[in-house]
Amino acid sequence: MDKPELLAALSASGAEVQLEQLRKILLGQEMQAMQAFARNWQDEKQQQEQLSKIISEAIALRSARDTSLAQVLSPTLEAVLERSIEQYPHKMANAIYPVMGPAIRKSINETLSQILENLNQLLEQSLSARILLWRFDAWRSGRSYSEVVLMKTLLYQVEQVFLIHRETGLLLQHVLSPKAISCDPDMVSGMLTAIQDFVRDSFSVKEGEGLNSLRLGELTVLIEQGSRAVLAAVVRGNPPASVRTHLIATLEAIQGHLRMELKHFSGDSSPFERARFLLEECLIEQRQKRKRNPWFAYLFLMLTGGGLAYWGITHYWQHCQWQSVLKVLKAEPGLVITKVGKQSGIYQIEGLRDPLARPPERVVASLAEAKPLTMSFAMRPYLSMDEAMVLQRAQHFLQVPDSVKLNLLPDGLLQVSGQAQLTWVQTLDERWPLVAGLKAMDRQALQVQDDSAKQAKQKQQQINAIIKTIENTSFSFEKGSNQPHNAEEHAQHLKQKLDELRSLVGENGQAVQVTIQGMADELGSKVLNRRLVKERAELMRDYLVQQGIPAAILFAASDGPIDSPERGVRYDVSLY
């Protein structure tokens, strides 16, 4: 770049710098404000904060101007309300309860009062002579009985209410009592308008004045005129002043709520459907009140209430008895109640029962509360792990002697204390793991008594006594005879003692040997006596074998005393 061009570029950049400085001097604050506004506009949080400062005032201003905001928000609010009711019905119920609760209670009270009054009237009329007079009057006059009763008991009743447009005379809305008979409401409206016009045209009346009532036999037509609407009520009977006051208030409310609709009425009566509930409130009636006390109704209610009270008390008392019995059954060790019910007046109980537990029939048999109740039981067997049942099971299975005490700890540990023989302690060590519910056993506090020596001594004494009894047993033969006549009883006695002896010595690993020795007296010769001694021993051995004594343990001796005072045999017992 040559020198002229360089100078031109420097002078141009200097001009731009000066222009920027002049712009800051003239527009500095406005530019900063615009830059801050641009930053805030792009920041959503700043927008939300600025909008929150004016949204309530904007909504209030728009609502005061027209109803467009309500029309726009109505679908959204309806959807939100519907969704809230679906998702949180309990919260919505709690929210409207302060309003709906009193209204519901008032409605129930009024309904009960009306039922009581109608019941009282029905009872009085059915049991009084007045009903006969009314039926006779209905038969005489040709009218229905209900119409006669209505005339006799009714003070007044608003049967129909007409809402009429004042300028056009057209019917806007009409309500009718369920008990009334109505003609064409448009025709009635036109006739009332025509009568009003006739009165104004035929008589000199002031502006705004007109006919306010008509009397047609038992019917009275009350007419109230407003600035844009006329309200007419057909009343049967003699209406009090309060009825007209109510009509005036209703007409004012309708003209206030439907002011624009009345002003721009063009023949369409559908917008006035909103006034129907106000007109229905005008359908009021009042009947004659008798001073006589409704004692028939009181008596009926007393009897009904007494019956309900008796049933309630009996039911509650039976329920308390059942709960008491059920509580005892649930607390009984070894019983588990799984299902209870009642069918045909019988309480049905299902559950589980340990074989060692008391039967439920026996449990409830001792309860006074169970006597009026009828119960059936369906129990299935099971092993209870309750401490009481486990301890009872151990007592039963281990055959615990009286000198031993068992105690079960919560962790399934069985503590054994007291005194016991060694044989039972050995049985305890073998059998306690078989008891369901026991996890361990502690017998450190149990004193073991070793009675083996004492038992051995007692056994030896029994053996010696039996041996002595056998050796002292003898059998006598007839003189000069070697045959054991009538020896059955002797053989049975000897066999019994030998069996006992063999059983006792067999526990010690010993055997029995019985030597049979014959005897002869001095009356015979020596040769004869020696022969008799041997034969008597051998023949007795053979006889005893025939009676069931094993031959292996019997030995017949070949010799014996030949000059003994006795003629017979004797026995010598030996163990080996």
Q: Residue 128 — φ and ψ, nearest 5°?
A: -120, 165
Rounded-to-integer distance, Cα 533 and Cα 407, Å: 69
Please say whether the beta carbons of 541 and 556 come within 8 A. yes
Note the pLDDT tens digit of each residue in 172-204: 888 988 767 666 777 777 777 777 777 676 676
Query: Residue 397 corresponds to which tokens in the numbers above?
Result: 């299975």
Q: Nearest CA to 251 among 191, 167, 165?
A: 165
Q: Rounded to whole angstroms, what are the CA distances from 371 to 158, 314, 363, 377, 520?
A: 64, 15, 12, 15, 84
Q: Rounded to whole angstroms, what are the CA distances from 243 to 144, 198, 289, 504?
A: 28, 26, 18, 122
**What pLDDT tens digit does each residue of the chain (576 aa) get?**
554 554 455 455 566 667 767 766 766 666 677 767 667 666 677 767 777 777 777 777 777 777 777 777 778 877 887 787 778 776 766 666 555 656 666 666 666 666 655 555 554 555 556 667 767 777 777 766 566 665 666 677 888 899 988 888 888 888 988 767 666 777 777 777 777 777 676 676 666 566 788 887 778 888 888 888 889 888 888 888 888 888 889 988 888 888 888 888 888 888 888 888 888 888 888 766 555 556 777 788 888 888 899 888 888 888 888 888 888 888 888 888 888 888 888 888 899 999 888 888 888 887 776 777 888 889 899 888 888 888 888 888 888 888 889 998 888 889 999 988 888 888 888 888 988 888 898 988 888 877 666 777 788 888 899 889 988 888 888 777 777 777 888 888 888 988 888 888 888 888 999 998 888 888 878 888 888 888 888 888 888 888 888 888 889 888 888 888 888 888 999 888
H helices of 206-333, in order, are 241-257, 259-263, 276-280, 295-331
Q: Report the predicted TM-score, pTM, of the whole model to 2 decimal places.
A: 0.33
Give the class (CATH, top level) of 153-287: alpha beta
Three-state DSSP state, 512:
strand
Note the pLDDT tens digit of each residue in 284-312: 887 665 555 567 777 888 888 888 998 88
The enclosing H or E element of 132 equals: helix 130-141
CB neighbour list of residue 94: distance below 8 Å, 6 or more residues apart: none
CATH 3.30.30: does it fit domain 296-381? no
CB burial of residue 398 (10 Å; 0-12, 13-18, 19+): buried
CB neighbour list of residue 420: distance below 8 Å, 6 or more residues apart: 401, 403, 404, 428, 446, 447, 448, 449
- CB count within 10 Å of CB 432 equals 18
- State which fold the 453-575 domain adopts: 60s Ribosomal Protein L30; Chain: A; (3.30.1330)
Rounded-to-integer distance, Cα 523 and Cα 477, Å: 14
Bridge partners of 417? 405, 445
Rounded-to-integer distance, Cα 285 and Cα 288, Å: 10
The residue extents of the domains of the chain are 79-151, 153-287, 296-381, 387-449, 453-575
- State which fold the 387-449 domain adopts: Histidine-containing Protein; Chain: A; (3.30.1340)
Three-state DSSP state, 127:
coil
